Chain A
Amino acid sequence: MLKISNLHATVGETEILKGLSLELNPGEIHAIMGPNGAGKSTLAYALGGRPGYEVTKGSASFDGTDLLDIDPHERAAAGLFLGFQYPVEIPGVSNLQFLRESLNSQRKERGEKELSGAEFIRLAKEKAALLKMDMDMLKRAVNVGFSGGEKKRNEMVQMGILDPKLAILDETDSGLDIDALRIVGSGINAIMRKPDKAVLLITHYQRLLDEVKPDFVHVLADGRIVKTGGPELALQLENEGYEAIAEAA
């Protein structure tokens, strides 16, 4: 589904990704772990097409489409979802309006029929309930005045509504208390644990992986994947730290 080969990316003058390769197949959940500054968020942003994150070499294809050749909103329409580490506040624009416009913009891009107001509200209610989020929060301006945990839960509601094929979730677990972590984890499972979907979880901690069991765990250090293993690798990291494992690799 996603094939990244020898990806190099720079932010400003600094090269952050230095030849990263990774392949995700449908039905798989991959976790990427790694020390601060290893390039985890850069990978997410480069794949999402954030301005300022320049891919200088390598390729990323998504279901056969050259991901790097299309605009960020087209990547979303193609089925890519980026869960932000720091979701952005948009004053004056309600969550519901934002999501309805987003979903319909995607559907239009794909040549599908747009959803009516009633159809959309039904969908939004269902997904909000899944994440135990109050509909009143969806009527409020996007992320404005939300706590850190509420923002992350809102990201997952958005993911549920937009129903992507591939989700790249950048530290979705940071800032969550234990209960919220469980809700978010079961949300990810309910929305994305399907044979035709894939997830790339970027995280620092084992605790999210207790909720969302990865099929593969990768260690990212200095802009490259230095080690790949099964779920047990995350436990080993938790016990031994990144440094020991990155060095041994």
Chain B
Amino acid sequence: MTLAQTLPTKADEAWRYADLKAVESVWQAVDMPESVVVAAGQSEQKTLILETGEAQIRQLHIVLEEGARVDVACLAAAPGYGRVEIDIDVASGAHFEMGGAIVGADDQTLEIVTRVNHHAPDATSNQVVRSVLAGKATGSFLGKIDIARDAQRIDAEQSVKSMLLNRGATANAKPELEIYADDVKCAHGATVGELDKQALFYMASRGLDPVTAKRLMLHAFVADAFVDVDGETSAVEEQALAALEALL
């Protein structure tokens, strides 16, 4: 996947689940991919939050130099169409960490699309994505991991879990691993489920009203994607939790 400069079509795998009408409406306005270079040995944090605007596309191209680290936290919760795209090159000894949440209802189409390019050995990446979808919303995660022939001893992880609150909601999870090296660890897991009914009854039997019970479970589910900073809930997690309120 290169960040497309011509209007994408459904034939383009990375845009297969996109709301192409919405894409067309904003295509001219999409900025060139924001480019971030993290210098050797440095670390950086990036936050991408899509929560307003009818249609939004944010593209990020990150280059991690040797031993660099980036922590990306993102939330796709735009009212209409929202897409976060991350394309990252990971050098030796570097680490890419991403936590993402997709929170949608109604007719929202939301997606997080990543491509991790492990072109050099001894590097690591970890991606955790949690989606909560209600109404007729569609949430998609497309995660491509390329590991080049010489990129030995890579440890690349991907965990994608989706929770559907209504029958009409759709979750797509598409891990795509292209591995040419022979000494790598690549763990990926994808699940799609709904709220645990047994747990909901257990909570009700203790006196929790249904809304509070749902809130507790969904908060815990989404919190998986984010790490607390100095014991404080991060800003992006706060926003994700606020977006969840609309689904209760």
Task: State the A residues within 8 Å of B (CB).
Answer: 48-51, 71-73, 75-77, 81-82, 84, 87-93, 97-99, 101-103, 105-106, 109, 141, 158, 162
Pick the residue among B198, B208, B220 that contacts A101 (CB under 8 A). B208
- CB neighbours of A109 from chain B (8 A): 207, 209
Task: State the B residues within 8 Å of A (CB).
Answer: 196-199, 201-210, 212-213, 216-217, 219-221, 223-224
Q: Compute how far the CA of A91 lies from the CA of B224 in the bound complex, rounded to whole angstroms.
A: 10
With A51-B201, A90-B199, A93-B216 already in contact, the answer to whether A73 and B221 are too (CB < 8 A) is no
A102 pairs with B201, CB closer than 8 A = no
Chain B residues touching A, majority SS: helix
Q: Which of B196, B208, B210, B212 has the most CB atoms of chain A within a 10 A radius of its CB? A: B208
Q: Chain B: which residue is nearest A86 at the CB level?
A: B198
With A73-B204, A162-B207 already in contact, the answer to whether A90 and B212 are too (CB < 8 A) is no
Tell me, rounded to whole Å, the shortest Cβ–Cβ distance linking B205 to chain A. Answer: 5
- CB neighbours of B212 from chain A (8 A): 101, 105
A90 pairs with B206, CB closer than 8 A = no
B216 pairs with A97, CB closer than 8 A = yes
Q: Chain B: which residue is nearest A94 at the CB level?
A: B220
B202 pairs with A84, CB closer than 8 A = yes
> What are some 29 contacts across the A-B interface (CB < 8 A)?
A49-B204, A50-B201, A51-B197, A71-B204, A71-B210, A72-B201, A73-B209, A73-B210, A76-B207, A77-B207, A82-B205, A90-B196, A90-B199, A90-B202, A90-B203, A90-B220, A92-B220, A93-B217, A93-B219, A93-B220, A97-B216, A98-B208, A98-B216, A102-B207, A105-B208, A109-B209, A141-B220, A162-B206, A162-B207
Q: Chain B: which residue is nearest A82 at the CB level?
A: B205
Q: Compute how far the CA of A88 lies from the CA of B196 in the bound complex, rounded to whole angstroms.
A: 10
- CB neighbours of A91 from chain B (8 A): 220
Tell me, rounded to whole Å, the shortest Cβ–Cβ distance linking A111 to chain B. Answer: 14
B207 pairs with A90, CB closer than 8 A = no
B223 pairs with A99, CB closer than 8 A = no
Q: Chain A: which residue is nearest B222 at the CB level?
A: A92
Q: Chain A: which residue is nearest B210 at the CB level?
A: A73
Q: Compute how far the CA of A112 lies from the CA of B109 in the bound complex, rounded to whole angstroms.
A: 43
With contacts A89-B199, A105-B209, A141-B220 known, what are 12 further pairs, Cβ within 8 A?
A50-B201, A71-B204, A71-B210, A73-B204, A73-B213, A84-B202, A88-B201, A90-B202, A90-B217, A98-B208, A105-B207, A158-B206
- CB neighbours of A90 from chain B (8 A): 196, 199, 202-203, 216-217, 220
Tell me, rounded to whole Å, the shortest Cβ–Cβ distance linking A162 to chain B. Answer: 7
- CB neighbours of A98 from chain B (8 A): 203, 206, 208, 216
Q: Compute how far the CA of A36 lies from the CA of B74 in the bound complex, rounded to whole angstroms.
A: 52
Q: Compute how far the CA of A48 lies from the CA of B208 in the bound complex, rounded to whole angstroms.
A: 13
Q: Chain A: which residue is nearest B206 at the CB level?
A: A102
- CB neighbours of A88 from chain B (8 A): 196, 198-199, 201-202
Q: Which of B197, B199, B201 has the most CB atoms of chain A within a 10 A radius of its CB? A: B201
Tell me, rounded to whole Å, the shortest Cβ–Cβ distance linking A47 to chain B. Answer: 10
Tell me, rounded to whole Å, the shortest Cβ–Cβ distance linking B200 to chain A. Answer: 9
B207 pairs with A106, CB closer than 8 A = yes
- CB neighbours of B220 from chain A (8 A): 90-93, 141
A72 pairs with B204, CB closer than 8 A = yes
With A90-B199, A105-B212 already in contact, the answer to whether A76 and B217 are too (CB < 8 A) is no
Sort A-B residue pairs by CB-CB distance and give the 3 closest, nearest first.
A92-B220, A76-B207, A106-B207
